[in-house]
Amino acid sequence: MNYIITGVGGQGTVLASKLIADTLIERGEKVRSAETIGMAQRGGSVVSHIRTESALSPVVPKGSANVLIGFEPSEAARCMPYLKKNGVAIISINPVKPVTSSLEDNYDLNEILTFLKNAPQKMLMVDGIKLCTEAGSSKVMNVCLLGVAAGSGYLGITLDEMRATLKRRLPPKLLDLNCRALQIGADAPLI
Amino acid sequence: MGNECIALGAIHAGVKCVCGYPGTPSTEILETVVKENPGDIYVEWSVNEKAAVEVAAGASYSGLRTLVTMKQVGLNACSDPVMCLAYIGIKGGMVIVVADDPGPISSQTEQDTRHFAGFSKLPVFDPSTPDEAYEMIKDAYEYSEKYKTPVIFRPTTRICHGYSSVDLKEDVECIKAEGFVKDPKWAIFPKLSYQNHVTLENRIPQIGEDFSSYRFNEVNGTGSAGIASSGIGYAYSKEALESLDAECKFLKVATAYPFPEKLALEFLSGLEKVLVIEELDPVIERELTYICGKYNLKTKIFGKLTGNMPFAGEYSAELVKSAVSSFLNIQQKEETIAVPNLPIRPPVLCAGCPHRASFYAVKQAAKGLEAIFSGDIGCYTLGNAKPLEMVDTCLCMGAGITMAQGLQRANPQTVNFAFVGDSTFFHTGIPGIVNAVYNQTKIVVIILDNSTTAMTGHQPHPGTGVMASGAVAEKIDIAGVLKAIGVKKIIKSNPLELEKAVSSVKEAAEFDGVSAVIFEAPCIAISKPGPHLIITDKCTVCRKCIKELGCPAIVYSDGKVYIDSSLCVGCNLCSQICPSGAISQQEGCR
């Protein structure tokens, strides 16, 4: 399996990719992964690659990701060339505008959403902010999206497996919130 | 993570002294040693790479296994001790990890450390995966001790920051150190250098021969065409062959210097053509071309020198696949997806970053002056971005202070400001200030003291009062250092108090001689955020805050300006420039 997790620095994409990798390793799979992060500490494009089986390089080649999880529509669109023809994308539709778009408006959300909706692959789109509000924290978009992906059956990881990983990896005081976020994701209405 | 593999490999090989200076993509190696220290390893963040190499050399002379970590440009800062150590040699194994950054993703150059290895006559190891790096470190120590020479270990970003499953050995090698034994061989003199140079040159082909049977150098596959590769290029090439369902002969080079000539000859035998896939410089390509000439082989070598592969930039799986397919004459269906216009996300200073306030204060104070702003290496290089545009020059660590002096000599009518961060000040900034005072230049040094080495992930430095291990250290006072050097005008200021900050800069700029403003405010990533600000209904949407500050927390959308409460840390800079007093803490109305 090849996974691409993408979003904007600060959205929690790296933790999401670590949770996926951790689950796969726990199951006994050999995993390679990598992150591409620019110079920006926050607010930059972030792409995490996760690969299993006989992969030698940690980077997913274009056109070979089975699953793409996009935390932000423009970043998801940027990574669409990675997605396999029969791949599945799980995308939150809420934009994060870069600081440059306050100086000059260069973010056309409608165009990007239309592009994503018209893609030939299976697209599972959700309102990530709404899911976070339901869970009661703006910081759990990552686990909500993992819930959407695991619940859909396309992630290759079950909700039970992901719950077990949350238990292993998260501090106890954050566990309830994240388990709730996972379930909210799994039950989320698609847009 | 590859960097963790390198650290754990060194720990399990019995390393006892670890020194380094932070630099992407190498930083996590030393951080992992701190975290995983079984308790008997001495580990320090050195003030710069030169200090790191020299501290480690002393420990190595005494028989300890040592590790030095840095990024590729750090090797330039310590090339003096590295070049000399090649002649003197060591006793305890010494591995100098130099992380290269093809792209470059966060560096000034795309220099290739394998070349530096050849130049300094030090063997170099080049892992192609994180798990290989873990195993290879142990080998590096063994070769280092066998040939009594420091060795260079050169991972690239994809190895340093790649992750893989690794089987760890639990036992740690126990190396008994003899301690320092006095001997004339430890003091470099021209006569000794001549003698050692002879030995050194004799040793190089010997190590090359040894490397021909090194376990991570290998020849495999069959055919009349061959691919030679190293590092991450190896992984990309192997995967390209697999996805093209093609086969050819393959040479993997894990030690580009001294080159494993015997193994290369075995590879070249019977080959019509070879494609070399290596990031950065054509090191393997030149070696193979040389061997073909030396042995009068007819094999054609293709790569960068023949225009088949690019010199600059990082390689990708796609780039390698397309090069391999055209080399092997395999037709490939190109499918491109037309992605719509997407916003670019250039790196910017964080919301509430005190550097933004410092740059803004200097910009205000320098209004009406003919001013040149010399920048330096660190987060504050981002001061070059719109709308601040306060970095006119940036070259390398510590260069801002000294270049400002040359700019001043050549442009005496200008006022020259040099920005330097706190960690960079200690790294290579101080001698530049000594130079300015001694040679009676007029420059204004702006020290951006945010109490950490921010860009590489918040490592301590001599001004922070904390050591790498977390233990308390004596804080070295920047103002005290400046005073001791003889800087006659030193002003400490809080950049977030705009009015005072501007007048501090004005006062420093008027001083005839070397002056310094120390802007003290901690990095937002290591301090607690204050209550976030809001825009009240007094806002006239003039957007001065956006146009002049470029803070990512201030957003303009649907004809309104608002503050993103998840990003704002309440630095209050924007409220001090708002002409309508419309930005305030929460008690106002929205």
Residue of B nearest to A83 (CA): B337
Question: Nearest by CB to B347, which of A40, A60, A115?
Answer: A40
Give B337→chain A minimum CA distance, Å: 6
Within this chain, do residues B520 and B568 fall inside the same structural domain, yes or no? no
pLDDT at B173: 85
Report CB contact under 8 Å: A98, B243.
no
Give exposure, B435-456, as e/b (b: 16+ Cβ within 10 Å): ebbeeebbbbbbbbbbbbbbbb
pLDDT at A40: 53
pLDDT at B174: 85
Cα separation, A4 vs A76, whole angstroms: 9
pLDDT at A39: 59
CB B551 within 8 A of CB B573: yes
CB B68 within 8 A of CB B99: no
Question: Nearest by CB to A58, which of B158, B316, B321?
Answer: B158
* Least confident among B331-335, B372-376, B472-476, B572-576: B331-335
pLDDT at B152: 98
CB B62 within 8 A of CB B94: no
CB B367 within 8 A of CB B387: no
Residue B553's φ and ψ, nearest 5 degrees, are -80, -15
Mean per-residue pLDDT over chain B, rounded: 95
Number of neighbours of residue B13 by Cβ within 10 angstroms: 21
Within this chain, do residues B520 and B570 fall inside the same structural domain, yes or no? no
Query: Which domain range does residue B499 map to?
Result: 354-526
Please say whether the dihedral angle defined by the alpha carbons of residues B421, B427, B432 and B434, taken in this order, is positive or negative.
positive
Within this chain, do residues B204 and B229 fall inside the same structural domain, yes or no? no
Question: Nearest by CB to A57, which of B235, B346, B554?
Answer: B235
Higher pLDDT, B176 or A86: A86
Report CB contact under 8 Å: A100, B345.
yes
Angle between helices B79-88 and B190-211 (to 10 degrees): 80
A101, part of any domain: no
Residues present in chain B in total: 590
Give the mean model confidence (pLDDT) for residues B189-213. 96
Give the whole-number percent of chain B exceeding pLDDT 90: 91
Report CB contact under 8 Å: B317, A30.
no
Residue of A nearest to B105 (CA): A38
Q: Where are the beta strands (DSSP E) in B294-414?
A: 300-302, 371-374
Edge-to-edge strand list for the sheet holding A45-51: A122-126, A83-92, A65-70, A2-8, A45-51, A32-37, B162-164
How far is residue B135 from each of residues A102, A148, B5, B165, B167, measured CA to CA in Å?
49, 39, 9, 13, 10
Cα separation, B566 vs B184, whole angstroms: 63
B344, part of any domain: no
pLDDT at B435: 98
CATH number at residue B107: 3.40.50.970
pLDDT at B590: 39
Asked if pLDDT for residue A41 goes beyond 70, the answer is no
Report CB contact under 8 Å: A59, B339.
no
Within this chain, do residues B199 and B313 fall inside the same structural domain, yes or no? no
Cα separation, B212 vs B210, whole angstroms: 5
**Tens of pLDDT, residues B383-415:** 998 899 999 999 999 999 999 999 999 999 999
Please say whether the dihedral angle defined by the alpha carbons of residues B256, B260, B265 and B271, taken in this order, is positive or negative.
negative
Q: How many CA atoms lie within 13 A of B333 on its CB side?
A: 3
pLDDT at B587: 59
Asked if pLDDT for residue A78 goes beyond 80, the answer is yes
Q: How many domains does chain B have?
A: 4
Edge-to-edge strand list for the sheet holding B225-229: B218-220, B249-252, B225-229, B273-277, B300-302
Q: Which residues of A touch B567 (CB under 8 A)?
A: 42
Cα separation, A32 vs B353, whole angstroms: 35
Q: Kindly give, in sequence order, each residue whose CB lies less than 8 Å from that of residue B229, ignoring residues fewer than 6 positions away.
A: B236, B237, B250, B251, B252, B253, B276, B277, B278, B284
Q: How many CA atoms lie within 13 A of A77 on its CB side?
A: 24
CB A121 within 8 A of CB A186: no
Helix (H) or strand (E) holding B158: helix B157-160
Residue of A nearest to B131 (CA): A32
Within this chain, do residues B194 and B242 fall inside the same structural domain, yes or no? no
As beta bridge partners, residue B447 has B420, B518
* Least confident among B48-57, B115-124, B554-563: B554-563
CATH number at residue A83: 3.40.920.10
Q: Which residues of B touch A59 (CB under 8 A)?
A: 158, 162, 316-317
CATH number at residue B562: 3.30.70.20
pLDDT at B588: 45
Q: How many domains does chain A have?
A: 1
Give exposure, B312-345, as e/b (b: 16+ Cβ within 10 Å): eebbbbebbbebbbebbeeeeeeeeeeeeebbeb
How far is residue B513 from each of residues B153, B291, B405, B478, B500, measured CA to CA in Å?
45, 59, 11, 18, 22
Q: Kindly give, in sequence order, each residue whose CB lies less than 8 Å from that of residue B450, ignoring residues fewer than 6 positions away.
A: B354, B355, B379, B421, B422, B521, B522, B523
Within this chain, do residues B194 and B238 fall inside the same structural domain, yes or no? no
Asked if pLDDT for residue B170 goes beyond 80, the answer is no
Question: Nearest by CB to B232, which of A39, A57, A62?
Answer: A57
Cα separation, B427 vs B50, whole angstroms: 10
**Tens of pLDDT, residues B485-500:** 999 999 999 999 999 9
Cα separation, B416 vs B393, whole angstroms: 11
pTM: 0.94
SS3 B379: helix
Within this chain, do residues B502 and B393 fall inside the same structural domain, yes or no? yes
**Tens of pLDDT, residues A119-167:** 999 999 999 999 999 999 989 999 999 999 999 999 999 999 999 999 9
CB B250 within 8 A of CB B268: no
Angle at B521 between CA B517 and CA B525, to 5 degrees: 140
Asked if pLDDT for residue B427 goes beyond 60, the answer is yes
Q: Which residues of A touch B318 (CB under 8 A)?
A: 61-62
Nearest by Cα to B278 from B239, B241, B311, B327: B311
A21, part of any domain: yes
What one-letter code names the amino acid at B483?
K
A6, part of any domain: yes
Within this chain, do residues B233 and B184 fall inside the same structural domain, yes or no? no
* Least confident among A53-57, B16-20, B96-100: A53-57
Query: Quick one: tokens of B146?
Result: 């066998």
DSSP for B82-115? Answer: HHHHHHH--SS-EEEEEEB-SS-SSSS----HHH
What one-letter code names the amino acid at B226?
G
Within this chain, do residues B204 and B223 fall inside the same structural domain, yes or no? no
Give the mean model confidence (pLDDT) for residues B302-312. 97
Torsion of CA A118, A124, A125, A131, to 10 degrees: 180
Within this chain, do residues B276 and B419 fall inside the same structural domain, yes or no? no
Q: Kindly give, in sequence order, each residue whose CB lies less than 8 Å from that of residue B533, ignoring residues fewer than 6 positions away.
A: B563, B568, B570, B572, B574, B575, B583, B584, B585, B586
CB B178 within 8 A of CB B63: yes
Angle between helices A13-26 and A141-152 (to 10 degrees): 40
Give exposure, B544-556, as e/b (b: 16+ Cβ within 10 Å): ebbebbbbbbbbb
Cα separation, B310 vs B289, whole angstroms: 18
What one-letter code names the amino acid at B224?
S
Give the mean model confidence (pLDDT) for residues A38-57. 82
pLDDT at B589: 39
A114, part of any domain: no
Give exposure, B29-58, as e/b (b: 16+ Cβ within 10 Å): bbbbbbeebeeebbbbbbbbbbbbbbbbbe
DSSP for B217-272? Answer: -EEE--SSEEEEE-HHHHHHHHHHHHHHT---EEEE-S--BS--HHHHHHHHTT-S
Q: Kindly give, in sequence order, each residue whose CB lies less than 8 Å from that of residue B20, ignoring residues fewer than 6 positions away.
A: B26, B29, B30, B45, B46, B49, B52, B67, B68, B69, B70, B97
Helix (H) or strand (E) holding A169: helix A159-169
Report CB contact under 8 Å: B339, A74.
no
Report CB contact under 8 Å: B347, A35.
no
Nearest by Cα to B88 from B47, B42, B122, B37: B122
A113, part of any domain: no
Give the mean model confidence (pLDDT) for residues B79-84. 97
Q: Kindly give, in sequence order, each residue whose CB lies less than 8 Å from that of residue A110, ignoring residues fewer than 6 positions away.
A: none
pLDDT at B374: 97
Strands B17-20 and B66-71: parallel
SS3 B448: strand
ipTM of the predicted structure?
A: 0.91
What one-letter code names the amino acid at B503?
S
Give the whole-number percent of chain B exceeding pLDDT 70: 99
Report CB contact under 8 Å: B164, A103.
no
Q: Which residues of B touch A108 (CB under 8 A)?
A: 340-341
Within this chain, do residues B204 and B237 fall inside the same structural domain, yes or no? no
Give A180→chain B minimum CA distance, Å: 22
Within this chain, do residues B317 and B360 fall inside the same structural domain, yes or no? no
What one-letter code names the amino acid at B134?
Y
Which of B131, B234, B345, B356 to mutate to probe the A interface, most A CBs <10 Å? Answer: B345
Query: Which domain range does residue A176 map to?
Result: 2-96+126-186
Residues of chain B by 3-state class (helix, strand, coil), percent to 5: 40, 15, 45
Number of neighbours of residue B569 by Cβ within 10 angstroms: 19
CATH number at residue B288: 3.40.50.920
Q: Which residues of B touch A99 (CB under 8 A)?
A: 348, 550-552
Query: Quick one: tokens of B535?
Result: 């825009």
Query: Quick one: tokens of A59?
Result: 């980077």
pLDDT at A35: 87
Cα separation, B201 vs B195, whole angstroms: 10
Angle at B144 between CA B143 and CA B149, to 5 degrees: 130
Question: Nearest by CB to A74, which of B336, B342, B525?
Answer: B342
